[in-house]
């Protein structure tokens, strides 16, 4: 039978190591948010002008004719549990030169959203400034 030597100093060293370990892991979680440790983007860590949307949020994609050109409008629902209090609003992308380009872009967005991927948009009010189609966005 193996017996160890018990000493109060040895026990104190064990307790101090466990306390240091606890402090380091707590500091890691406080100063490095969990979104850095995971591959899923935390919506609270996005800038005010960025949103991540997917097919559940976009109900319709509309190509509109305006006096100064064309624009692509996304009808978006703000998701609530069971859609009981969902609110719809329109976001538009006006960087479209002609109807053919707008239709091709609308079909591309529709295929991308139907594939189940998320997209990140940068907005200014209700105008979409930039659409980022990246399959790694979660």
63-106 per-position pLDDT tens digit? 999 888 899 999 988 766 666 667 788 899 988 989 999 999 99
In terms of pLDDT, which residue wins out, 107 or 34? 107
DSSP letters for 51-107 = EEE-TTTEEEEEEEEETTEEEEEEEEEE--GGGTT-EEEEEEEEEE-SHHHHHHHHH
Q: Which of 109, 102, 101 is nearest to 131 (CA)?
A: 109
pTM for this one?
A: 0.64
The confidence score (pLDDT) of residue 88 equals: 83
Summarised one tens digit per residue, pLDDT across range 13-65 is 566 667 777 666 666 566 655 545 555 666 667 888 888 888 888 989 999 99
Level-2 CATH architecture, domain 43-133: Beta Barrel (2.40)
The confidence score (pLDDT) of residue 9 equals: 61
The confidence score (pLDDT) of residue 27 equals: 62
How do the domains of the chain map onto residue ranges?
8-37, 43-133
The confidence score (pLDDT) of residue 30 equals: 60
For residue 74 the two structure tokens come to 């996304």
């Amino acid at each position: 039978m193996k017996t160890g030597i018990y000493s109060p100093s040895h026990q104190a060293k064990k307790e101090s190591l466990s306390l240091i370990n606890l402090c380091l892991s707590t500091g890691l979680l406080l100063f490095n948010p969990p979104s850095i440790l995971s591959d899923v983007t935390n919506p609270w860590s996005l800038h005010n002008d960025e949103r991540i949307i997917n097919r559940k949020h976009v109900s319709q994609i509309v190509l509109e004719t305006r006096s100064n050109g064309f624009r692509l409008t996304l009808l978006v629902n703000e998701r609530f549990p069971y859609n009981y209090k969902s609110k719809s609003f329109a976001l538009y992308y006006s960087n479209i030169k002609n109807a053919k380009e707008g239709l091709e872009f609308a079909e591309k967005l529709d295929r991308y959203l139907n594939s189940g991927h998320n997209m990140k948009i940068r907005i200014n009010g209700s105008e979409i400034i930039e659409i980022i189609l990246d399959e790694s966005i979660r």
